[in-house]
Amino acid sequence: MAVKYETGNDGKFAAGTTKPSLSVGHVTLSPTAYTELSDCPSEGEDIYSIDYKATKKSNNIGWTFGRMSAPPAYERAHMEDDVAELVAPYLDGRLLRSRLGKQVSVIEMKVMLFGSAADKSPTLDDLETLD
């Protein structure tokens, strides 16, 4: 989940903004993007204690993440109650779980991994190495 602010292209609020406009949604991250995002917090901070700026890469494939500010702007504007109200529909986890990938069993995963190899059928030794 992420809190999104309405900002200009530079990631800054319009002059005179005292209470930013907020929305909440989900973010789907590749492993590389998650690693990049996880590197943004400083020592003693976690990924939830800062704001980020997401910028589309110049080749239009993927995003880069940078540290924008700490603490998050909604905390500086004393809008914690507003954020709590926005995230309330997600607290039971049902909607977020629906955004996750399909859960597969170990057997299904092994079939997916070895089932597409046209030149080699899996052996029992191959399947045991995945355990």
Examine the pLDDT at 19 and tell me if it is beyond 90: no
Read off the pLDDT of residues 105-122 as tens digits, 9 standing for 90 and up.
788 777 777 765 544 555
Task: Give the per-residue pLDDT at 118.
Answer: 45
Are residues 2 and 26 in contact, defined by beta-carbon separation less than 8 angstroms?
yes
User: Who wins on pLDDT, 64 or 95?
Assistant: 64
Task: Give the per-residue pLDDT at 64.
Answer: 86
Token pair recorded at residue 123: 């052996």
CA–CA distances in Å: residue 20 to residues 8, 34, 75, 88, 99: 12, 26, 11, 19, 27
Examine the pLDDT at 47 and tell me if it is beyond 50: yes
95/74 Cα distance (integer angstroms): 23
Q: Alpha carbon 75 to chain centroid distance?
A: 20
- List b or e across 69-105, with b for residues whose CB sees 16 or more CB atoms inside 10 angstroms: eeebbbeebebeeeeeebeeeeeeeeeeeeeeeeeee
